[in-house]
Structure 1
Amino acid sequence: MLQSNIHSIIDKLDDFIRKYYRMQCVKGLLLFLLVFIAYSIVIFLIEYIAFLPVFTRTFVFYTSLCIASFAIIKYICIPLARMYNIGKRLSYIEASRIIQSHFPEIKDSLLNALELSQISQNQSNDLLIAAINQKSALLSPIAFSLAVDIRKLLPFWKYAAALVIVVVAIMVFYPQALLQGATRIVKHSVFFEKPAPFSFHLSSDTVWVERGANVTIALTVTGEYIPNSVEIQFGGNSFFMRKKTNSEFEYDFQACNNSLNFNFFAEQFTSKQYTLLVKPLPQLVSFTISAKVPQYTGIDNFTVSNTADITVPAGTQLSWNVSASDITTLVMNIYQAKQKLNFVNSNKVFSLKHTVIHTTNFTLQGTNTFISNLPIIDYTITVIPDLAPIIDVASKQDTSSLFRYYFKSRIQDDYGFTSMNFVYFNEHNHKKPIRIPLDIAKFQNKQDVYFMFDFSQFEQGKKISYYFEITDNDKVNGYKTTRSSVLEFAVPSKEEIQKIEDQITNNVEQSLSQSIDESQELLKDIQQLQKKLLNQNMSDWERKQTMQEILQKQESIEQKVKEMSKMIEKKHDIQNTFSEKDAELLEKQKQIEELLQNLMNDELKKLFDEFNSLLENFKRDEFMKKSEDMKLSVEDLAKQMDRDLEMLKRMDVEQKMEKTSEKLSELSKMQENLAKDIQKQNQSSQELLKQQQELSKEIQKVQQEYNEIKEKNSDLKQSFDLPDFTQEFNEIKQQMQQSGDQMQQKQMNKSSKSMQKSSEQTQSLADKMEQTMQQQMQQQAMEDIDNIRQIIDNLLVFSHNQEALVAQTNKLSHADPKYAQVTAKQNALRDNFSIIRDSLYSLSLRVPQISSQINNELFAIHKKMKSTMSYLENQQRSGAMVDQQYIMTSTNNLLLLLGEVLEAMQQSAAQQMQGQQQCNKPSSKGSGKPSMQQMQQMQQSLKQQMQQMIQQMQQGNMQGKGMQKELSQMLMQQQMMQQMMQQMIKDGGISPEGMQQLKEIQKMMDKNEQDIINQSITPQTLLRQEQIVTRLLESDKALRERDIDKKRESNEANDLYSQPKYMFKDEKNIEFEFEDVLKQTNLKFNSYYQKIFQQYLQNINDN
């Protein structure tokens, strides 16, 4: 069997492959060295020239290292490893192709031999082996290693030689370029300063400065070249230095607190690093100031932190606690006192206590190893002195009172108050002021204090000075008091008060007159507006203007009414303060005031508001309806104001008559005293004559005032019958003139008698005036009561007729012909009611008890009457019936109100008669209780009236209405007697015999009352009345004797009641007989029902 020669070929191929990789390794090494050396030269030169930053050099260094490592591995290490058969290397096929490319003559012989060798491995065939051997013989003379051509490395050696020449040249001519560049690249993390043509010079590499101080860096630049500017760099910032000379530069570090490093920079050249070191200064880390405030200030103790300037009250104790650094000794320097206080050091915490009285400037000075007594902080302790309190007073007079003042005092103090007083004194006693303590919030620093004071308690004509004083709570320096300005109030005299009252009365009357005129104008405006709207002859602008004027007039009327109410209230306050008015006059004042206040009632205000709303949202139909209501309301308002005006004028006349009477009584007393002085001659004749002349002037003045009253009375619609007292005044003046003439003639006794007679005449005139007014008031009261009764009767008839008409209306059907009949009856009732309404209005001019509520009911009936007629004319039964029911309701309300008015007028008349009798008996004045003498006089008067009536009846002159009027007056007087008798029995203090006698008198009075009710005045009635007068005389005598016995026991009674414990004795059980209760009832019946009622009560008593 043949053997193959393929192994020789394989060995030759292995040798080729090793030589191939050896060639690759040498080639890679040469290439790496050439590139790396050239790259390094370039980098070194760049660094030498550019002085790259550390970061750039570090980046270049590590980047170059990475590239070099990659090149060594790829071009040297890998070919070297494959040369030693490590890793993947060339295959025989690849190697044969490389050899074939180098030796073209072998063609495919080597490749075919390798392929045949692979085939022979799978199958044994001699033919294949022979072919392989043939190919091997053919290839054996060829050396495969020659395929690796070393000549290809020749260019690399050329480059290497050129590079070596360059390096040698640099090393010979400028070696520092490579050496310094290589050094700086290798030491990439080290900063290398670029050599400059100049150098920076400081006196020392380290600069010292005190903390917080300023330091100037002085730099000197030397060299061949001096830059124009130099920068200093620190803290990442760069700042230009100040050029002092051509080669000297400066920079100021201000308020240095921390050490730092800095360097200089100029024209791309940087100096080395220098250091600024700060010396530790004495400094405060933190501190607290605790303030212990005086207790009286009411301020809590407090503590502040790290605040030097504080404000505290005087006397505050301050405690400092200071935490410091770099301090060994801390001192407080007080400039004002030229005093130094040392802090106590405890573990670097310094403490000190000091009490401040005045505002003081302090300085804290610290000392350490480096610095002594360094001022650390300057501050001020502001001390607030406790100043005197402040008071500011504002006053306002009460609109309804001349003497009532409201004060608003604004008081202010640093820390509070102790007391506040209102102080007043009169002009003659300023050394003894009276203090009124006021309530204040003592610990409230600022507050308003309100106070009201009434000066009406002082005598007329006096001057009262007053002020407010406020005292603070300063215990340290002593309490301080501040007074307000001293003000003065002059209490008006009688003459001044009279002028004020007259002025108020005139103002009210004038305002009422103006309001009445404005209401008439308002009514005309409404009527004109209605006409123009009906004619459609008005633009929107004109309509709005007209409505606006109507509303303005309405507001004007309303404002005047408010002002009048305040003025009336003010006048009443003056009168109640300085005048003693009887209960009747006071009640009149109150009623008139209520009438004025109720002029603008809620319904009228609502109507005006609705009218006002139409100004913006105008609706024609609604306006026409509201305007009709407005017309009725304004008409009623005008009538009420006219009535109030008349009432005011009447009351003014009554008041003036009362004052005139009182003034005459006072003048009578003065004349009497002057007569005594003339008799005794206590004063000189000249002084007495002067007093006589002054009294004469006063009498003349009173006469003028009376004439003025008569003029005012003549203006009344229903005036009083005031007599002419000219003769009486002339007689008084004549007597006074005679007394003065006799005094000048030294006839003192005669002068005294003349003056005494003048006094009596003056008092007589005063009594006449008083009696005249009382009689007229009583007569008017009787007439008014009769009128009220007649009106009530007419209203009852009207109510019955209206009720019947309501029933007829209810039976009407649609288009019923009876509508005309019902309408005519309703119209007749409306006319009847108009008469009733006019009667009430006429009566209301002098009867203030007819209140605004009655007027409202009258207005409601009048208004519903008009609407009822409209419904009936339009045959709207339901609407007519609703308004008729309203009429019935208002009529019933009106009857109830008039019943109350009638009862009040009867009581008022009884009190008036009682008061008149009391005035005639001075001993009983002010007692307010009925007496036997009063009832005796009244019964005597009643007896005379009965006698006159019997005579007139016998003559046939007493018939019809005249007789009814006399009987009603007699019945009212009899009822007054009954009330007085009941009051006397109720008050007690009468002996059992006297009580029995009074009951018998009362029984006889009951029988006479029955006769009067039955209109049966007979001689027997007259005889019974005579017996009543006789019994009253006997009872009066018994009471007088008992009064004498009481006077004898008065001393013992005084001893009993002088002890307070006896002032409250137990009430005795007083037995009231059932008959007394019966007599005291206020229910009034006719004779028939009166008997039934008495029998009913008697049966209850018997059971």
Structure 2
Amino acid sequence: MKTSIEALYANIQSYKRKYYKNLLLKGSLLAISAFLGAFAIVSILEYFGNFSSTFRAVLFYSFISVSIFSLVYWVIIPIYQLFTLDKQLPHNEAARQIGRYFPQVQDRLLNVLQLHSTNSNAQSSDLYQASIEQKASQFAPISFADAIKYEQNRRYLRFLFIPIVLIGAFLVWDLDFYKASAVRLVNYEQDFAPKAPFEFSVDTKQLIAFKGEDLNFDVNLSGSAFPNEVFLITENGRKIKLDKNSASSYSYQFTNIQRPFEFSLDGEGYTSKMYEIIVRQRPQLRNFVAYLNYPNYTGKKDERLENTGNLIVPAGTQIEWRFQTQETEKLNFVSIISEDSTNVKKAKKEEDGFLLQTTALKSEAFEIELENKYSKNKEKISYLLTVIQDESPKVSLNQFQDSVMYDYLMLGGNISDDYGITNLRFNYRITSNKKTSEYKSLPLKFNPNAINQQYFHQVELEPLNLQAGDELEYFVQVWDNDGVRGRKSSKTGSYRFKIPKELEMRESVSETSKSAESQIDKTLEEAQDLNKKLKQLAEDLKGKKNLNWQQQKELEKLLEQKKQLEDDIKKMQEQNKKLNEQQEKFTEQDERIAEKSKKLQELMDELMDEKTKELYDKLQELLQEQSNSEEIKEVLEKLQNKEMNLEKELDRTLEMFKKLEVDKKMQDIAKQLEELGKEQKDLAKETEKQQKKEEADRRLSEKDKEETDRRLSEKDKEEADRRLSEEQKELNEKFEEMKEQLEELDKMNEELKTPKDLEDTKKKEEEVTKDQEQSSEQLEQKEKKKAAQSQENAGEKMEEMAKQMQQMTSSAEMEQAQEDYDDLRQLLENLLKLSFEQEEIMNGFNEIDQRDPKYITLSQKQLKLKDDAQIVEDSLRALAKRVFQIESFVMRELTDMNDYMEQVTQEVKDRKNPRMLASRQQSVMTSINNLALMLNDVLEQMQQSMSQMGMGKPKPSNQSGSPSPSMSEMQQSINQQIENLKKSGKSGRQLSEGLAKIAAQQEALRRALQKAMQQGKGKEGKGKDGKEGKEGGQKGQNGMQDGEGEGGENGNQDGGSGGNGGNMSKMIKDMEKTEEDLVNKRLTQELIERQKQIMTRLLQSEKAERERDLDEKREAEQAKANKRRVPPQFEEYFKQKEQQIELLKTIPPALSPYYKQQVNEYFKKLEE
């Protein structure tokens, strides 16, 4: 803490600081006043005195001296004293000044200072020291600095006011007054001419020019008088007259200025000062290079373009500009956004120019702006940057929905992009029971190297687990390869594919059935019409040797009509196949109906035989060769029999189709009734459950109702009642539909030529309807208990109806099967009888000649045999309409038999040589025997089928199409007969008859094998639609119809017939040799060995076929999978698209995007 004496000295020191600050303020005012006063006096004297250089020098230095003196005396010295202690006011003098100002201080402060000064020089006592401290403490309340008042300096402002007023007055008079005087005073050594009555006014900015450019120079005059002319005087003294704009304004244009120069102005003898034209250099662009680094995903090679400013580049291209300039300090890249908006990028300065890097993202106009410290480039350097944006990919979709089997979707279309495609997907979602799933995705195949391509994909619907009533919503989406903004995608519109409900599916199957039936009926009518025309043409050609023009045209029309008939038969086959596929997938069929459907399809597939085709080909050749009418007539007669058989087969097909549809309808109705009954009974249980729940709720006390959450609210009850009523209403509607189907079944049955005996279900229908109506009414009346009972009754009656129909179907089928079996067995016996009678007649003719009286008797027997054969034919055709196992080749064999019989009859009428009749009769007998063999096989199949229905123990049979035991047994029987005949020692007539009989049997077996071979050649894989292809009375009796018909190397691994083609051919040749030996009565050991080899080969084939049966199921599934094919409309579409793909592949890959796009557009137009 400071002592009182120390505080006293500090107080005095603060006084002294303020004292000198006051002196400094006072001196500043006086110094400024002296400076301004001297300046005003000197300027006024110089302006009006127009003194010489010497006097102007005196005035100038006098002004400088006064200014320096004033500054030193009044400003610098007080500043020095303020900051320097040794030159400051002494403490005693300061005490006196303070004492004079403060009355209470007076000399007391001085005395204290003197006492303290004395005390500091001698040793004093503490009492003395305390006395000084006491005296010093008396001044503590007084601030000595208050004795100094800054306000007292205001009186010095009057010295400053006088020069300021003086200076201001002359400035008002002439602004350049002091400036002109100051210039002359400073430049006192220079002589100044007398002032002209006018002045030249030149803007100095006009004196700056740019090299090689023009400069406009303007001069204005001011003053009391103006000259009439003004001249420009150059450095070399040349005078140039200025252009006079007005009395006080002149101008001149300097052209193509190359260097700096000076000039002056002259007017009426008054000359201005020298002016200098300064020449500057504008910035210049000498050249530039653009390096284009294209995005990698575009596949374009980088480029270097020189002095090319207008660019067309893909988005994302990195551009590096290198500019070579002259006299340039800055270079700006100015992007023009709009008229009022720009974006400036500064280029980087380098040693040899400027560098600017940018990424092209959008099109824009831009300018190159050059700049130095003097100027920018005079003319705009403008260019256009065109950026080709990566467009979104394009995708189109042509789709085919499998509205028959609902197995697949065919997707096809075009995808394209400007640079490349990275992904193609099939997006879908499923709506089931009003719930829609999230989108899922499947990848589609595409070529990532093609920018414009076709795609094709078959989407299998089975893995999607679509159920009846589900809806599939789908679209195709494609992604490009945009490496700048990220991959973009485009998608097609959404498509919907709805899986029909069960009722809709049944309706679809029903429509397909009606369409197939209509096609069969139409084909039958065309066959009948064709047959009539054949007969008419044959009649017209009788007795005519040559064809006339009209008959030729009729024959040509006939051939065209046959082609149309063949097309209709194919269409019929396809429609029935479509129907079978639908029924197989959407309805449950028992094995017997499925087998009948298969047999019917086989029957349709075999309607067109090769022999008929060969006859029509021959007719075509005869017509082209313009042969005589006899040859054509012969062919027409043969065709009549073929076409008659076709007509009858179509009629049979139609009838069998109708019967089969009735069977399917009965089975389907029975199944629906069973399911509907189950649904009705389930609803009855639900109703009963609801009723019990409500009763339990009513039994609860009010307290229980408050405490339990099991109580049904009124809203919940109403909702439950409404749901029950709606479900019952839906079941009522379903049963009404069932009644309509039952009526339709009756109509279908009535259309059959031999309708089935169907029981009347009207009573049951009415009872069910009544129960259902009662249940609906009881639900409306809240009588759930009664409603449940009515529902239960309706369900039970529906199930009873279903069982009744199933029993009726089973019973009728068993009865019909037994009846057909008996008829066929009787028919077979009649055939055997015909065969023996024909053999007897043939032997009788062999023993006589034309003149023998027995000729007439035998002829009568032959004619009667023809009538018996007609009865057999009628019976067989009637039976064939009921028995599906009787196939087309059986009926063709029947036709052959009739042909041979007709030929024999005609020859008998013409009384031909008996020896000539023998060959024809042998053919008749062979045909009868073949027919018997075929029907025997059918009989065995029927026996097995009846056994499966529980009608008796089945006999051994072959279901798989392997060599039939009956075939082996027949061959064994023939071999045994040969050995027995050889051992019997018979000769002569008995030997001949025995050998003839055995030869006929061997021939029949051989023909059966040949027919089997022909069947096998016409089939791929496992025959037609996987059938085993039995032929020759025992369809597949040699197991020769399963393979591909390639005849492999191993006899047991067949291609088309039997062990293999070679094995079969070998057996047929051996049989022909046996027949020849038997006819020539050569019972040798070689014959016996040959027969054993034939037997061995048959057994080997049988074994091979049994082994192949192990793979039968797998092969059938593969056949089913392979039967799907691209729809016809898509086949043509994709054929064209494949051609377009090849065409588009020819686009040169090096083309620029613009030209590549133009080429693509051109090809697209070609595609359209």
TM-score by length of 1: 0.49
TM-score by length of 2: 0.47
